Amino acid sequence: MIEVPALRVQQFGVQFYQAALSAEDVGHLVAFEVLTYDPRTKMSRQPSASRSSSKAKINWELLENVIRASAEAYQRPIISKKIAELAEYYHLCAELNTLPSIPGSVLLVADRRLDFAQSPREKFFGTLNIPTEVGVLRVLDGQHRLLALHQMQSDPAFVSGGRSLKDFYVPTVIFDFLPPDHAVEMFVTINAKHTRLNPSHIISLAGRRLYKDEWLAAAHDIIRALNEEKDSPLFGQIKVLGVGPGKVSQAALADEIKAIFTNMAAASAPAAKQFRDDSRRFFVSYFKQVARTFESAWYGRKYSIKSGTSLRAFIRIVPEVLQIIRARRGEITDAFKIRDAISPWMMTIGDRRFETDGEWKSKLLGGTQSTVDLLTRELRAGLQQRSS
């Protein structure tokens, strides 16, 4: 176990740590991965101008041996030119002793929860305990920087100059067990525009293979259907993997849908699997009927009905909608049955509830509950009024 002084940071329910890891610890703890369908694929070793003119002698074979190809990874293939340029810059920093080589934090994700021993005097400071297992950390952002640093330890020109990385520390941000879909969304958001990820790479990250949890995979299938089917009222409205014109993030919606499957499976695994088979058709049809029920709000400009908050509430109430449809012996994908089940909302909720500068804003600012919880309660009360 490695004990590292760390700062614990909390942001919107997400917890992570800021710490400095030695170059030696980075080389031991960090796994370097790239996305590929062929595990035998290696980094391109074609000669380049940057490589031939560089003072840094890079051991490409060493780097290829430490890079693992994995269909579950999200990192793009290594850009050898970028490694050469970084190594050259590191050599310059070592010679001048006036430039920091890695001044900004690299982002790392642990494959498990890490133990944090809080300082008795400071709430947010303490000691982070990291298992001394090879590859316990994966790189979310900064892989090229760390690979260039890794190879310098075997660079003859660097070592012969009497330089050492023994006391070299890398600023890091460490997430302990960030869910895979959230990690991918962060990766794409960080890299899609500034480093211009290849569109095919983004598409490769969107498949079911990324999500080991079958219910999370099903949830993302539903979200893609809502976002990509042209007859969906949410067509193009969801930001999938951090990109696209949509304004609603997929992650929160996926969590709500996954919770429905998880709760169903706890009560009856066969029922959950049966619903999974019909879930894409149901959700597209369901939101079509929501759009018809609140037509003015859905197609108006000054409403918040298509915000992430509202959509989460509409998803959260789905089990009650399904219960009403089944109690009436209807098919859950039948548009008329869905519309009949939620029709009370037209009178009990109404379009004005979603006016951004009206009731929506006053309840958002004045209540102690979250807006999602509050709206879910109102939707549930409307359904119960009809059923009673």
Same domain, residue pair 174 and 228: no
Is 67 within the bounds of a domain? yes
Residue 55 has pLDDT above 60, yes or no: no
Mean pLDDT to the nearest integer, 242-259: 82
Please report the pLDDT score of residue 386 as a whole number.
58
Is 299 within the bounds of a domain? yes
Same domain, residue pair 223 and 168: no
Same domain, residue pair 168 and 226: no
Same domain, residue pair 162 and 226: no
Is 184 within the bounds of a domain? no
Is 64 within the bounds of a domain? yes
Token pair of 288 as six digits: 């079509």
3-state secondary structure of 124: coil
Q: What is the mean pLDDT of the chain?
A: 80
103-129 residue pLDDT tens: 889 989 888 899 999 998 888 899 999
CA separation for the pair 74, 209 (Å, rounded): 11
Same domain, residue pair 127 and 241: no
Same domain, residue pair 237 and 363: yes
Report field, pTM of the whole predicted structure over 0.95: no
Domain end (from 116, 149, 178)? 178
Same domain, residue pair 173 and 228: no
Whole-number percent of the chain with pLDDT over 70? 78
CA separation for the pair 310, 304 (Å, rounded): 7
Please report the pLDDT score of residue 133 as a whole number.
86
Place of tokens 């992570």: 16
Phi, psi angles (nearest 5°) of residue 18: -110, 130
Domain end (from 156, 178, 200)? 178
- Asked whether 227 and 235 are in contact (CB, 8 A), the reply is yes
Comparison of pLDDT for 50 and 35, the residue scoring more = 35
The runs of H, that is alpha helices, within 108-249 are 143-152, 156-160, 180-191, 199-205, 214-228
Name the residue range of residue 170's domain: 2-178
Same domain, residue pair 142 and 240: no
Q: How many domains does the chain have?
A: 2
Judged on CB neighbours under 10 Å (0-12, 13-18, 19+), 301 is: exposed
Same domain, residue pair 250 and 162: no
Domain end (from 162, 178, 194)? 178
